[in-house]
Amino acid sequence: MKKLGLLLLAVVACIICVAQPEIKFENTTYDFGKIKEEGGKVTGKFIFTNVGTEPLELTNVRPGCGCTAANYTKGAIAPGEQGYIEATYNPYNRPGAFNKNIRVTTNEPRFVENEKATPHMIFIKGEVIKRPPTEFEKAGYTKSNGMLRIKEPNVAHDLLNTATVNDTFNVRNFWTKPVSIKLDKTYDYVTEVYRNFGAELLPGQEGFFILKYDASKRNKFGQVKDMISFQTNDSIEPTKRVHYAINIKEDFSKLTPKQLKNAPVCQLTTDSLSLGNMQKNTTKTQTMQVKNTGKSPLAIRALESSVPMISASTNMMVIPAGETAEITVTIKAPGRPSTQNATLDIITNDPAKPIQTVKLSAKIL
């Protein structure tokens, strides 16, 4: 009787082992062949069958890059039934051969038992035939949109907080009508100082205007990003924008020897900070200290993290001589396992070391 019971248990175990979903693709690669860059998005379809004995579900379908998108069968697929995954590729501005992957996970046992199991891989490939250049590309106006275009709308500078800089921006009207352009509001730190055309550009006309950026009026330190807007009567994109990326540093050149001798001194308790192990989608904080070992008040100008998920704050923006402030570093863990390495720049009015960098690290489980 005992042997019969053991035999029945073994049979049941075998049935459980065999009763499971299993995916099988008809083809794991879809070849689009040669497609035109200007021809619009193309879509390939992968058909699969559940060759297992239990309902199959797709738990995650993730394209390998942002240029592919996937649509797929939702819900359970019964044994012997078929499902599909559609992969879409946008060839615009992507001339040349391509080979992209899509990672697929299911409710098959190996994924249920191990969330880090290697996913199924399917692929799309092809070759994008380069389109003829547009009139904007021929003229070199590729970094803005609409019929009135700014040739190079992005500028970057390193500036002392006492300095100004002038930038020249070329513009061209590709429309058949005159186009007006003016600053949409008054900015304290950016002014238009010259233009070689009037209130509007005539059809086909090319011109330029000059903007002056005044760091002394920006009243910030460190990496500063500003977006300056213009209003136009462009029928496609009426708002035009110029983007500044300015690294503003404090000017200590006018300090006297006596002022330098009595200057604040920024002393950190550490140049590296580990937030240790963290679970996905959680928040964790860690603290460090900053001491002013100089003879004048130490002003913390800015706390700049190299990544958005890490931020910092302090309980004292101005530290008297001999006093200590606390800096709190906060990390918001992403939704996937990874090792995060970043930096925190502590910017002060210490003329000897105005920028001190702390290395940050965390392991997301």
For 352-362, letters b (16+ CB in 10 Å) and e give eebbbebebeb
Backbone torsions φ then ψ of 3, nearest 5 degrees: -65, -35
The count of residues in the chain is: 365
Q: What is the pLDDT of residue 69?
A: 74
Backbone torsions φ then ψ of 109, nearest 5 degrees: -55, -40
Contact at 8 Å (CB) between 134 and 149? no
Mean pLDDT of the chain: 92
Cα distance between residue 194 and residue 209, in whole Å? 6
CATH architecture of 135-249: Sandwich (2.60)
Determine what percent of the chain is predicted with pLDDT higher than 90: 87
- What confidence tens digit (pLDDT) does each residue in 216-253 have? 999 999 999 999 999 999 999 999 999 999 999 999 99
Q: What is the pLDDT of residue 298?
A: 97
H/E run at residue 326: strand 324-332
Where in the chain is CATH 2.60.40.10?
Answer: 16-129, 135-249, 261-364
Beta bridge partners of 303: 346
Cα distance between residue 331 and residue 274, in whole Å? 11
pTM of the model: 0.74
- What confidence tens digit (pLDDT) does each residue in 242-252 have? 999 999 999 99
- Tell the CATH topology of 16-129: Immunoglobulin-like (2.60.40)
**Is a pLDDT exceeding 50 seen at residue 194?**
yes
- What confidence tens digit (pLDDT) does each residue in 12-42 have? 444 445 679 999 999 999 999 999 999 999 9
The tokens for 66 are 């942002």
End-to-end Cα, the chain, rounded Å: 49
The tokens for 25 are 């693709």
For 43-71, letters b (16+ CB in 10 Å) and e give ebebebbbebebebbbeebebeeebbebe
Cα distance between residue 207 and residue 195, in whole Å? 8
- If you compute the radius of gyration of the chain from its CA atoms, what whole number of angstroms results? 30
CATH architecture of 261-364: Sandwich (2.60)
